[in-house]
Amino acid sequence: DIQMTQSPSTLSASVGDRVTITCRASQNINNWLAWYQQKPGKAPNLLIYKASSLQSGVPSRFSGSGFGTEFTLTISSLQPDDFATYYCQQYNLYSGYAFGQGTNLEIK
């Protein structure tokens, strides 16, 4: 099975900060990686797919990069609405859809 590992588990930041979350895959997944945002009591929401493609309607302050086994999600200037938990996910119909353990982005 492919394992996904995110870091950090918790990130404290302030409005206006630039933040980066890292996701590592246990084997090469090319660019078949998505990022989701989840707020308390809500379903996850797709932000990024194919490592760097922005889902329609998602603000441009979100960006993704990476290929192979190492990926990043960057928020260029944190807004109050961005404090949430973020998950990476590798997706492949034949090897599965494993999620990272999540990164809780909290207000400093």
Partner 1 sequence: EVQLVQSGAEVKKPGESLRISCKGSGYTFTNNWIAWVRQMPGKGLEWMGIVYPGDSDTRYSPSFQGQVTMSADKSINTAYLHWSSLKASDTAMYYCARGGNGYNTYYYFDLWGRGTLVTVSS
Q: Which stretch binds partner 1 (CB under 8 A): 18-26, 58-66, 67-75, 85-93?
A: 85-93
Cα of 43 vs its chain's centroid, Å: 15
Tell me the per-residue interface mask from 23 to 52 with partner 1, x by CB under 8 A, - otherwise. Answer: ---------x-x-x-x---xxxxx--xx--
Strands (E), the chain: 4-7, 10-13, 19-25, 33-38, 45-49, 53-54, 62-67, 70-75, 85-90, 103-107
State yes or no: residue 100 binds partner 1 (CB under 8 A). yes
Residues at the interface with partner 1 (CB under 8 A):
1, 32, 34, 36, 38, 42-46, 49-50, 55, 87, 89, 91-94, 96-102
